[in-house]
Amino acid sequence: MNPSKKTVLITGASRGIGLACARAFAKAGYDMYLTCLHSEKQLAALKQELETIWSVKCRVCLCDAGNHRDVAQLFSTIDSLDVLVNNAGISYFGLIQDMSFSDWDKVMSTNLNSCFYTVKYAVPLMLAQGQGRIINISSVWGNTGASMETAYSASKGAVNAFTRALAKELAPSNIQVNAAAFGVIDTDMNRCFTEEERKQITDEIPTGRMGSCEEAARLVLQLVCSPAYLTGQVVTMDGGWT
């Protein structure tokens, strides 16, 4: 990586908000590390796109952000880091009594444990250079809870608490920690809904539509570029929904 450029690590970068974040940070001139769980071809294509259009350096790899061994291996290749975007996440829709123990563990590992694993290795790098920014991708359901999405809501509520507590811990070291709690963003995760269900959802949103991944990425980049006095915040962007 170019030592004169800032670097960002984005987990879950092959699609949705993570993909949009990668493009936004590349446009802003960041060199980057991008990960995802399965989509190696998509990441390789994204790397070529970003390096060709924006002349940034981009390293990509498959990494299960919810597995501490994978994260440790990832960080063995990273020698400096300015920004961490914890975007890796999965949803689960169903009654809690029907949820298996393994599905519960998977949701918690991917959505919550992943934040701990990446932060554990990112913070020493940021301490060494005297600054850093951490953005955790959360959800409005972490604020209010959602029926049939108890595990997901619990994981994102924990991410919010993790964000606020970590911000206090790292503030004296000039490392800012914030979260972006999104409402319904038009991603693959929400394309499981039928057209009728999508209409019911958008009818409840004052802006009358789902948010775009590009809008979500713009907020993430704005949080990274915000004054250093902004830390420990869970910033909600949901079209006025909640």
Integer Cα distance of 220 and 217 in angstroms? 5
Integer Cα distance of 104 and 97 in angstroms? 11
Reply yes or no on whether 229 is catalytic: no
CB 140 within 8 A of CB 97: no
Q: Specify the residue for token string 């790098």.
A: 125
Q: Which of 30, 121, 152, 229 is catalytic?
A: 152
Of residues 160, 183, 140, the one with CA closest to residue 233: 160
Q: Which two tokens stand for residue 216?
A: 């979500």
Integer Cα distance of 10 and 86 in angstroms? 6
CB 11 within 8 A of CB 114: yes
Integer Cα distance of 93 and 55 in angstroms? 40
Strand, helix or coil at 20? helix
Q: Specify the residue for token string 């019911």.
A: 200
CB 61 within 8 A of CB 11: no
The residues carrying an active-site annotation are 152
